[in-house]
Structure 1
Amino acid sequence: MPNMSTTDTPARSRAPWWFNLAGQLLEPWVRIRRDPAEPAALLQAGVPVCYVIERDGFSDGLILQRACREAGLPSPMQPLTGTRRKRSVFALARRDGWLFGRNRQRSPNEPLGQLVRSLEGDPERDIQIVPVSIYVGRAPTRESGWFSVLFSENWVVVGRFRRMLALLLNGRDTVVHFSTPVSLRTVVNEAGEIRPERLTRKIARVLRTHFRRIRAAVIGPDLSHRRTVVDAVLNAEPVRTAIAAVAAKENISHAKAWRRAHDMVMEIAADYSHPVVRSVSFLLSNFWNKLYDGIAMHHFEQARAAAPGHEVVYVPCHRSHADYLLLSYQLHMSGVVVPHIAAGVNLNLPVIGPILRRGGAFFLRRSFKGNALYSVVFNEYLAQLIDRGVPIEYFIEGGRSRTGRLLAPRAGMLVMTVRAFLRAPRRPVLFQPVYIGYEKLMEGKSYIGELSGKPKEKESLLGLLRGLKVLRQRYGHVALSFGEPIELNPLLDAASPDWRAASADPDAKPEWLGRVVDELAERIQVNINRAADVNPINLLALALLATPKHAMAENDLLAQLELMKSLLAELPYSDRMTLTSMDPPGIIAYGEQMGWIRRVRHSLGDVLVTEDEQAVLLSYFRNNVLHLTATAAWVACCFLNNRRMSRASVLRLGRIIYPFIQGELFLPWDAEGFCHQLQSTIDFFVRRGLLEATGEGRVLERGPGQDDAAFQLKIIARSLIQAFERYYITIAALVKNGPHTMTGAELENACTLTAQRLSLLNELSAPEFFDKALFRGFIQKLRESRIVWTDDAGKLDYDHALEDMVRDARVILSREVRHSILKITPGGDGEREPEKPVPADATSEALHERHVATEHHAHAPAEMTTVTEDAGVEESRKDD
């Protein structure tokens, strides 16, 4: 440990006997947690140390003295070498009064002036100033009493009596935060010719700002009464203008229009209360222990390190109503302020609504359409929060995912956030994506019902009480994984170097704003997926749901789990992905314990099976991590119906299909990056013996269908095969009906009905297979690629490339599946699959690839392989 004083060991305290006695009496009541745990590593050896604390107080001195002693730091009670100061500590403000007395400010200029003057005449001398923040009872624990919540740390400067009660009740939850020291010599040298008096005032101002920032990060911003925020909103120029416009348009008095705006902002505004937050955290400690076996946080330290100095906007995925409670609770217990959360007005229920509001929830209506006044009021309220530095949380998916996949983002809140920042760009905005992973969902059964066509049950207090029965179950572990944060300023700089000029006009809508918001939304979803946590239930779902009866022999399941873990470990999706440490036998045992799978005993080997209803629920957890295996699934899909295929064809077809997979799964690569991942995945399969590379690696071959390697490939492929079936349904419906015959809505409806019927006929266990939103997203990607467009009559027309996609589908989908889809799909005049004639131009890339593959295998036995009409593909006969 480095030496922080001018001697080889920390100097002994020279505090009076009564100070040391008080410290010994206080010691049993106080337990200190240092932040960082080893503050000595922050300091420079051999340079005198002077501590500065935010507020003067006898107890703060005792706590600081003990924290320094336990950390091996110089004592704050010793004289400061080279100065006339008897102590190596001073405070910015002094606490006065024994009961609830007022605070009397004392200027810190005198001790600071002494320190500055002590450096005069000796350019080699330095003093390191260490700001130290002390918080007593920031987060009462589960064992704490309710009374202790009232005396936990806040922004109010309390008297000595309240401080004594806080120490007695909450002293065992004391945090001492040591900040990075400041070299006073460096400050003096940089000041140049500034007079010492002015320099000391500047240093004091910087220290006060520092302490406010640290206190805001630890216990939350110093929010005024709710009425203050409401008044600020109503007095803002945009709101006053909107009120006058409503009064004129509807021919009502200004007072009536003002009352309408007042009612709106009161409906919206949070009523944040530190005691309520602490009380709810006290309750939730016991609640989570009853529900979950553990809550893990991944990459939190990186997120906390990036937050200071920024307006932080948390943007988690939305899987459950528990999301916002879990995230807020974990942030609070980790020493980070609870964000204000945007919640749907449907959650503003009796009893529950006021509690959520005091916990930081602000409510918004599902649609602002047709209500200009409400839109202006809400935008102004959000701008006030951002301007005050209040951390915010919202879900850009717009609602909970019923399928387990990330939903297409809705950019409304992002637009309002960006515009609020442009209006007053004082503090840079940082978006913090968060992946939330569960092992069992409280809402699981209701999600399945909604996907099957049942109407969504409206939230009500009675419904909430009925839903309390779910609390009897255990829901395993939860993971909160913090993705790579996204700074707004670089996106704005890239879009428009003079974006700051937009802040001059609050009503301006720069043409680049839409592009920035779209890119921001895309990056948020991508970074959420990059932070995925792979738990045992995800792995079981990937394996078991790929079998027709959702059952596997134990040995096969063990082998498949080991393969999947190896794939994710050797080819990690990102540096923030986390993977369960359980081995395959442990994963199976855990799945049985959680009730997801059942063991069927058999003399030839046990079989693990998941029942029908459980299989449907399990599809949610498979969908959480589909993106992690997308490249492996694509490679495996190429060998579902083909024994041999050229590497070039796998890559070529991968480039064609990638934009659609990327749009559905929010994958992080560009087309070349995806091909690089495909190459790495192919090499992994070759190393594992799942594929064999011949012809200097240009041609790939799998084993026969009954081979274990072929079986493992088939399991991997089926995690993605339903996506390709949906794509085929869409393009087949378009081609079968012909151009200029269907609108976008009619195509969506036809695809949904086809998928529903196919699901009934084949007993598919994935209700998202006929989710209209997935069809809508695919059609939108076709539009963006200019493969499909709308004619002047509102009907869909398409490029000949769509027919190429129909032809290429033969590589992936079996003839039986294709014909089943064509038979069910409405429209057209038969079941014939649309054909595209082989072009006469023999120099085309497709014919060239086919020629190379044919020439390479010219001497292959005729009973093993034939060359298909598909470019570069060699399809086996039905020997598997």
Structure 2
Amino acid sequence: MDHSSVVTPTKRTASPNPTERRDGIEPGTEPDDTEEALVYETPLRPSSPRPGTRPTVFLADDMTPVEAEVFEEWLRARSNGDGVEVVRTTSTDLETLALRTDDPLLTPVRAVWVSDPVVDTSGDLRALLGDPLRVGRRRQKKARRTNPSSCRIIAGEPATLDVLRERHDDCDGTSLATFIVRRAHLALERSERAILGSEFKVSRFVVEEITGSKRFRDGALRLARELGRTRSDVREHAVAALEEMIATQSRRATVVWSRLGRYFARAYRLDVDTTNLDEIRELGSRHSLVFLPSHRSYLDPLVLRPALTTHGLPLNHVMGGLNVGFWPIGPISKRSGTVFIRRRIGDDDVYKWALTEYMHYLVAKRFNLEWYIEGGRSRTGKLRPPRFGLLRYLSAALDDASPDSPDAYLVPVSITYDQLHEVGAMADEAHGAPKTPEGFRWLVGYVRAQGKRHGVAHVTFGRPLSFREYLGREDDRRLAVQKTAFEVSHRINAVTPITPASLVMYAFLGIEDRALTARELESILRPLVKYIRRRGLPTAGGVDLRDPAVVTDALRTHLDAGVLRTFDRGSEPVFHLAPGQHLVAAFHRNNSIHFFVTRAIAEMVVEAAAAGRSEDPIAAGWAEALRLRDVLKYEFFFGDKASFAADLRVELDAIDPDWEKHAGETSRGLEMLDAMSPYLAHRVLQPYLDAYAVVADELAREPVGGEVDRAAFVRRCLDAAEMSRLRQQIGSRESISTELFSTALQLADNRGLLGGDDADLADRRTAFAREMHAHVARVVRIRDLAHGRLDLVEEDGR
């Protein structure tokens, strides 16, 4: 059959407007838009199909002459004697098509380029950063001569006109022709993903889809009544909010961002623990996944991205703050999936509703999301308390969803690094230096700093949990969200691996700037590694921490980064912390500190029992444990009192299985304390207790009456702590930290010590200081025992 009688190619000059949509999806996808493009002049009436058959209409994008030639061949190969009709998706003939009553089968088609073997993209930035399914018109003839199969025609899932007409009935303000084009492009996107892979699963026409739904119309009317505004006013406000936040994705930006990400993160080798990935992939086939990683670096999204795509998971919609929306990062990342949300929404109820509707749309369409549950980068290396805001919006998005609609599964993710360039800047900020604002100049410096190898970035996925199920466990929705957030945080901590780089820092902190020989280092780490193995704690990459080569590599990493130094002009080499590196070292130690907090408290309980100042040592020890749990509640995640007691009992059993039988014997407590191995309380708790004691002392000096100026108070604490360290009254410069002073102030505020003119306020502040110093005295006694044991190692080595 001669198809040219039905499909007549003509030429037109493409619009010089660089934002004109070539394929109805992506603006400016070709660099040479001024060349002529082939379009189709289609008949207004279909050619006659065979009796009893449904007419078929192909909905085709605009094509270049080369692509049109391939399309003609494709049509001829599929001819069965029926008439063939082609309608351009950019043609006014779609309006006529929408009026037809013969219910044709509509099949969207598009030309794609699966490879371009002619061009070596390594030296061509435009090709390197181009759309992986597009080839510039000037290269198409040459590409096809070299590889005839490089250009293909793909077809999206077809649908009848009547079915599309039924689906269109739920849309608001959108013509049927426009709706058909959207559906065609969405179907073609799914077909393209079969070629490209899940990395290129992108959302299209999102604002139109959301605002055109009955759900949106009803919600706008309801909100307008609540706010005393018109529905059109609410709708206009919501559309503006959606356009500000929504990720307008394109394949070109996705490619650019992926390649830039690999360049930015080039300092690291990626290590991905795949233990839970099979379950996560299976859940992702039926539900929306919400990845909630720990946040230690600006690189986190760029590290997580390849960890997902290389294991068959699509890209996430990353919820990010507008503070990193500057050029060029902002525009590129937004078009590759970043959703920029205002950091302060305030009382903008329409914006809040628009964000909820966007989340509802993403979950309903089974797109995956990602945000950082701590709300910002950790300045200390340990997990910060979770922020509840986005989880509350997500819970609202699930509120009126049907039980059989997709759920949102929350996926805890741990990301840790052997070294981080930016930790030094965060340490300076903790000592009072101003934070450098993000911007282009900052970006250039940051990228340059990644040119040096920093080791390994470790990504571990925790067990996913059903958000819908966890929300159903509590009648109070706010409480349910909070409990869910803390459960996610617990699961992140549970899978955060102990890295050799973190392990080594336990040896160099808590020893008051003492240098260590290799023998002393081994004597500290050996019992700690034994403890780690006994508890079955996760280790990065499954490495054997008993292997001396592993520890040597970790030492070398810290030496190369300038965190440690070595002195080798004596009888043997010794290692020590470099000046000003205490907070950097603490950052790496704190990556795994949560595993050792209960053990450290158990040591304090034993010390309290050994002090022999109570007739009931068990009760005294338990009271000490609860006091410490309360003091440290803003630093670490604790379970409820029952689970805390159970965990504490496990640690005490490990120290001495018969501790309860001899609980009333002071001498037995002293024996337990002396035989204990390893000592961890001074390495884990002393920096916090020293910092809290500084805050308590300053608070005791604060005049009663009025509120405490927190910023000025923290600055005074920095000076007071500096003086205390110079006088050797605190154990380490690690305690000179605005982060620690701020959490100590939270505790003081929780105890009602920051404001008011109560008659007993001064006395309560003094009692608070006495309590902090009592804890410090106890941990110092444990530290002295540890130092005494270290002295014996030194003597044995002489």
State the TM-score bracket (shorter-chain normalisation).
0.5 to 0.7
Corresponding position of 2:284: 307
Map of 1:583 onto structure 2: 546
2:452 and 2:524 map into 1 onto residues whose CA distance is 29
Say yes or no: does 1:364 pair with 2:341. Answer: yes
Q: Give the secondary-structure state (helix, strand or coil) at the position aligned to 2:504.
A: helix
Whether the 8 Å CA contact 1:742–1:796 is kept in 2: the answer is: no
Task: Tell me if 1:679 matches 2:642.
Answer: no
Residue 549 of structure 1 corresponds to: 513
CA distance in 2, matches of 1:799, 1:299: 54
Number of the residue aligned with 1:272: 249
Give the direction of change, closer, same or farther, for the CA distance of 1:273–1:815 in structure 2 (3 Å limit): closer
In the TM superposition, residue 655 of structure 1 has moved relative to its aligned partner by 2.8
Query: Aligned equivalents of 1:233 and 1:327: distance in 2?
Result: 33
In structure 1, what residue type is equivalent to 2:738? F
Deviation at 1:295, TM superposition (A): 2.8
Residue matched to 2:482 = 518
**What pairs up with 1:538-687 in 2 under 5 angstroms?**
538-572=502-536, 580-583=543-546, 585-594=548-557, 595=559, 596-601=563-568, 604-638=571-605, 646=617, 649-667=620-638, 669-686=639-656
Q: TM-score, normalised by structure 2?
A: 0.65
The aligned residue for residue 724 of structure 2 is 761
In structure 2, the CA distance between the partners of 1:370 and 1:515, relative to structure 1 (3 Å rule), is closer
Specify the alignment match of 1:409 in structure 2. Answer: 386
Deviations 1:679-704 (A, max 9, x none): 332333348xxx99983896544579
724 and 463 in structure 1: CA distance in 2 versus 1, 3 angstrom threshold: closer
1:812 matched to 2:788? The reply is no
1:452 aligns with 2:452: no
Q: 1:729 to 1:463 in 2, by over 3 A?
A: closer
Distance 1:307 1:262, change over 3 A: closer
Deviation at 1:339, TM superposition (A): 0.6
Residues 210-289 of structure 1 mapped to structure 2, 5 A cutoff: 218-219=198-199, 221=201, 223-226=203-206, 228-229=208-209, 231-232=211-212, 236-237=216-217, 240-241=220-221, 261-282=238-259, 284-285=261-262, 288=265
Q: Tell me: CA distance 1:264–1:277, structure 2 relative to 1, closer, same or farther (3 Å).
A: same
Give distance in 2, aligned partners of 1:226 and 1:306: 24
Give the 3 Å change call, closer, same or farther, for CA 666–749 of structure 1 in structure 2: farther
Match of 1:383 among 350, 356, 360: 360
How far apart are residue 639 of structure 1 and its match?
Answer: 6.2
Give the unaligned 5+ runs of structure 1: 1-92, 107-135, 154-160, 172-207, 497-511, 819-880
Instruction: Answer yes or no: is 1:467 the counterpart of 2:446.
Output: yes
Residues 794 and 422 of structure 1: CA distance in aligned 2, closer, same or farther (over 3 Å): farther
Over 3 Å counting, the alpha-carbon distance change for 1:228 and 1:812 in structure 2 is: same
- Contact between 2:458 and 2:540, CA under 8 Å: does it hold in 1? no
Read off the aligned partner of 2:216 and give its amino acid letter.
A
Alignment check: 8 A CA contact 1:752 1:775 kept? no
Give the Å deviation of 1:433. Answer: 1.1
Map 1:111-510 onto structure 2 (within 5 A): 150=131, 218-219=198-199, 221=201, 223-226=203-206, 228-229=208-209, 231-232=211-212, 236-237=216-217, 240-241=220-221, 261-282=238-259, 284-285=261-262, 288=265, 290-301=266-277, 302-425=279-402, 426-496=405-475
* Residues 578 and 527 of structure 1: CA distance in aligned 2, closer, same or farther (over 3 Å): farther
The amino acid of 2:568's aligned partner reads R
Task: Say if 1:694 and 1:241 are closer, same or farther in 2 by CA, change over 3 A.
Answer: closer
Cα RMSD (Å): 4.9
The percentage of aligned residue pairs carrying the same residue is: 19
Contact kept, 8 Å, 1:439 with 1:476, in 2: the verdict is yes
Q: Partner of 2:460: helix, strand, or coil?
A: strand
Secondary structure of the corresponding residue to residue 450 of structure 2: helix
Equivalent-residue separation in structure 2 for 1:105 and 1:515 (angstroms) = 63
Q: What is the alpha-carbon distance in structure 1 between the residues aligned to residue 529 and residue 702 of structure 2?
A: 44
In the alignment, residue 600 of structure 1 is paired with which amino acid? Answer: F
**1:811: how far off?**
5.2
1-side partners of 2:439 and 2:683: how far apart? 40
Instruction: Give 1:310 deviation, angstroms.
Output: 1.9
**1:76-134 deviation per Cα after TM superposition (whole angstroms, max 9, x unaligned):** xxxxxxxxxxxxxxxxx9x999834689999xxxxxxxxxxxxxxxxxxxxxxxxxxxx
Does the 8 A contact of 1:339 with 1:390 survive in 2?
A: yes
User: Deviation of residue 666 (structure 1)?
Assistant: 1.4
Q: Structure 1 residues 514 and 670, CA, compared in 2 at 3 Å: closer, same or farther?
A: same
Give the aligned residue type for 2:205.
H
Question: Structure 1-normalised TM-score?
Answer: 0.60
Rounded to whole Å, the distance in 1 between the matches of 2:350 and 2:393 is 15
8 Å Cα contact 1:383-1:421 kept in structure 2? yes
CA distance, structure 1, for counterparts of residue 388 and residue 546 of structure 2: 41
| Distance apart, 1:607 and its partner CA | 1.8
Is the contact between residue 637 and residue 714 of structure 1 (CA under 8 Å) also seen in structure 2? Answer: no
Question: Alpha-carbon deviation of 1:390?
Answer: 1.4
- Distance in 1 between residues matched to 2:341 and 2:380, nearest whole Å: 24
Contact 2:721–2:736 (CA<8 Å) still a contact in 1? no
**Does the CA-based 8 Å contact 1:551-1:607 persist in structure 2?**
yes
Aligned partner of residue 673 in structure 1, secondary structure: helix
Deviation at 1:631, TM superposition (A): 1.6
Give the 3 Å change call, closer, same or farther, for CA 647–742 of structure 1 in structure 2: farther
For 2:408 and 2:640, locate their aligned partners in 1 and report how far apart those are by CA, in whole Å. 26
User: Could you say which residue in structure 1 is the equivalent of 2:683?
Assistant: 718
Over 3 Å counting, the alpha-carbon distance change for 1:459 and 1:750 in structure 2 is: closer
Give the superposition deviation at 1:385.
Answer: 2.0
Secondary structure, aligned partner of 2:597? helix
Matches within 5 A, 1:54-65: none
C-alpha displacement at 1:361, in angstroms?
Answer: 0.3
> 2: distance between equivalents of 1:636 and 1:515?
34
CA spacing shift, 1:535–1:649, aligned 2, 3 Å: same
Residue 722 of structure 1 and its aligned partner are, at CA, apart by: 2.5
Q: What SS does structure 2 have at the residue aligned with 1:398?
A: coil
Deviation at 1:166, TM superposition (A): 10
What is the distance in 2 between the residues matched to 1:616 and 1:758?
A: 14
CA displacement, residues 533-560 of structure 1 (integer Å, 9 cap, x when unaligned): 1111111122201110153232121121
Shift of 1:624: 1.8
Distance 1:298 1:558, change over 3 A: farther
Aligned-residue offset at 1:418: 0.4
Query: Are 1:550 and 1:611, in contact at CA under 8 Å, matched by a contact in 2?
Result: no
Task: Identify unmatched segments of 5+ residues in structure 2.
Answer: 1-57, 61-66, 81-112, 135-141, 153-186, 727-731, 782-798
SS in 2 for 1:480: strand
Q: C-alpha separation between the residues in 2 aligned to 1:487 and 1:363?
A: 25
Offset of residue 277 of structure 1: 2.5
Q: Deviations along 1:490-527, whole A, 9 cap, x unmatched?
A: 2232213xxxxxxxxxxxxxxx1211111112112111
CA positional deviation for 1:328: 1.6
Residue pair 1:316, 1:435 contacting (<8 A) in 2 also: yes
Letter matched to residue 225 of structure 1: F
1:825-844 pair list within 5 angstroms: none
Looking at structure 2, the residues matched to 670 and 815 of structure 1 have their Cα atoms a distance apart, in angstroms, of 25
Could you say if the C-alpha distance between residues 747 and 582 of structure 1 is closer, same or farther in structure 2, counting changes exceeding 3 Å?
A: same
What secondary structure is seen at the aligned counterpart in 2 of 1:420?
A: helix
Q: Is the 8 A contact 1:433 1:527 kept in 2?
A: yes
Please tell me whether the aligned partners of residues 599 and 680 of structure 2 are also in contact (alpha carbons under 8 angstroms): no
Which amino acid is 2:491 matched to? Answer: N
CA gap of 1:228–1:404, structure 2 versus 1, over 3 A, is same
For 1:414 and 1:105, locate their aligned partners in 2 and report how far apart those are by CA, in whole Å: 53
CA shift digits 1:314-356 (9 cap, x unpaired) = 1111111101111122101111011100111122222222210
